[in-house]
Amino acid sequence: MTGSAGVLMVGPNFRVGKKIGCGNFGELRLGKNLYNNEHVAIKMEPMKSKAPQLHLEYRFYKLLGTHDIGASVAVYEPHLNKHKFYMDYSALIGKEGIPEVYYFGPCGKYNALVMELLGPSLEDLFDACGRRFTLKTVLMIATQLLHRIEYVHGRHLIYRDVKPENFLIGRSANRKDKVIHIIDFGLAKEYIDLETNKHIPYREHKSLTGTARYMSINTHLGKEQSRRDDLEALGHMFMYFLRGSLPWQGLKADTLKERYQKIGDTKRATPIDVLCEGHPEEMATYLRYVRRLDFFETPDYEYLRKLFMDLYEKRGYADDTEFDWSDKTMPSPSAESDAKTE
């Protein structure tokens, strides 16, 4: 809606400012909460979008933003033919790293999602660090993101969109710059059926969802995604950070379908030991574990975190939360003059 003097508003409090990004959904704008003068991010999707996803994303954010501490979750394990109760230890971490969502509603010809303004993405930071992260930084990233993904899975969602662009550090202004946040739930999906409380069935011949560079081998093969696929995609991303690139990058093809096929073929043809050559054995151990998981299986997130935390200790790294980018000054969209916030 438009406020007085032609100022674009979302709801009663949020003034829409300059464009700071765009994606398949529409565009991202800088905004301001006029109630407390804090900057926010406003994600805008045309109401006439052929594949609207912003309202669904809002629903997922609200789901992730609430949690019963110490709840146990009943998960149907088909290979056991019964429900198993798991303590939801992700509750102990709570919703750290999940952006705050303030409002969802119409704005002119758009639907708008108003949320916490965050800092740069891991891809931005990777660029700033010369497109290579040290093992110390990758282990710190891995430990945090395994908490994030476990929390998302604990809310009965699979993420299906692992890529460095979707993990953002918080802003130093509110002392969240050491926390890696997970954003963009437009491709997320509930893997526990709300009606039956059972795991979704295994299916094949599914269209590809996610980013080809990081997606699991089974996703390339058209298999329905489950928790294991998020973890495998994370493993590919960790190796991207350590190596600087992945063997299946830069492949040329006439069509997008052929390119995806080539990427999938190269992934399958690249042995884990070759992918992880010159890097600690724990990286290969991680990938072997996640690739062996059953479609329905609940991953042992704690085992995977311990794998990385033990390696961190073994290497004698300081427990100082200092990442490779910690000494670099990164631009912030709200650091520029307020005059530009239309």
Binding residues for ATP: 43
Q: Which residues of 142-162 are buried (b: 16+ CB within 10 A; e: fewer)?
A: bbbbbbbbbbbbbbbbbbbbb
Measured distance CA(225)–CA(39) in Å, rounded: 36
Distance CA 71, CA 89 (A): 8
Question: In this structure, what token pair is assigned to residue 233?
Answer: 């995609």
- Residues noted as catalytic: 161
Residue with tokens 């999602």: 113
- Annotated binding-site residue numbers: 43
CA 119 to chain centre: 14
Q: Which segments of 184-315 are extended strands (E)? A: 189-190
Rounded Cα distance between 54 and 184, Å, is 9
Cα atoms found within 13 Å of the Cα of residue 275, Cβ hemisphere only:
25
